[in-house]
Amino acid sequence: MYFSYSGNTREMAQIAKCRTGSDICELVSPEPLPQDLHTLHDNVVDSKLFPKEKMAPLPLPFDPDKYAVFIIGSPLWLGTYPDFFIAYLESIDWRGRKVFPFVSFGGTRGSYYTKIKEICKGASVDLPCEMHSTPYPGEARRFEVWLDKINSFTGNIK
């Protein structure tokens, strides 16, 4: 499952689906996001500087109890996950599950990995794959190698 604002994470999620044979689900913001990048950026900065009430968990558009292994992709916003994405993740009872996180980012990682391990309490959270939004040579291959680790885990060896 993934969220993507400008398409980079969506592209990675499609590659992940094809290479691992997984189901795929795009999670969207419950409130429409501004189309203008600067407005979005300002809104996200505002919400960090002046946090409102914590969002209640958001129900997922699929039944998470059908799955034991989750590949979770998101862009990094101010070094972490968008608030509504966290709210989706918090609707799952993570105990006994396996999580493979990947992120798309522009150059500053922040504390997202600590955050996802905290959210997915009781799950085994694997090392993340961090893909720079600038497509450096070898990045695509690095992602494929990471996805093949998932295939080894699930036994889905081609």
Ligand X SMILES: Cc1cc2nc3c(=O)[nH]c(=O)nc-3n(C[C@H](O)[C@H](O)[C@H](O)COP(=O)(O)O)c2cc1C
Amino acid type, 50: F
Tokens of 136: 């450096």
User: Is 9 or 20 the residue whose CB approaches ligand X more closely?
Assistant: 9
Q: How far apart (Å, rounded) are the C-alpha atoms in residues 77 and 2?
A: 14
- Position 35 contacts ligand X (CB under 6 A): no
**Which one of 1, 9, 86, 146 is in contact with ligand X (CB under 6 A)?**
9
**Beta carbons within 8 Å of 153's beta carbon, 6+ residues apart:** 69, 98, 100
> Residue 44 or residue 55: which is nearer to ligand X going by CB?
44
Instruction: Tell me which residues in 125-144 interact with ligand X (CB under 6 A).
Output: 133
Cβ atoms of 143 and 102 closer than 8 Å: yes
- H-type helices in 91-133, by residue range? 112-119
Please give the size of the binding site for ligand X, defined by CB under 6 A: 23
CA distances from 56 to 5, 80, 91 (A): 22, 18, 9
Task: For the segment 50-79, give every residue that binds ligand X (CB under 6 A).
Answer: 75-79
Nearer CB in complex with ligand X: 94/146: 146
Nearest distance from C-beta of residue 8 to ligand X, angstroms: 3
| Count of other CB atoms within 10 angstroms of residue 68 | 11
Closer to ligand X by CB, 64 or 75: give it: 75
Options 2-10, 14-22, 24-32, 86-94: segment touching ligand X (CB under 6 A): 2-10
Interacting residue ranges for ligand X, rule: CB under 6 A = 4-10, 37, 40-41, 44, 75-79, 104-108, 110, 133
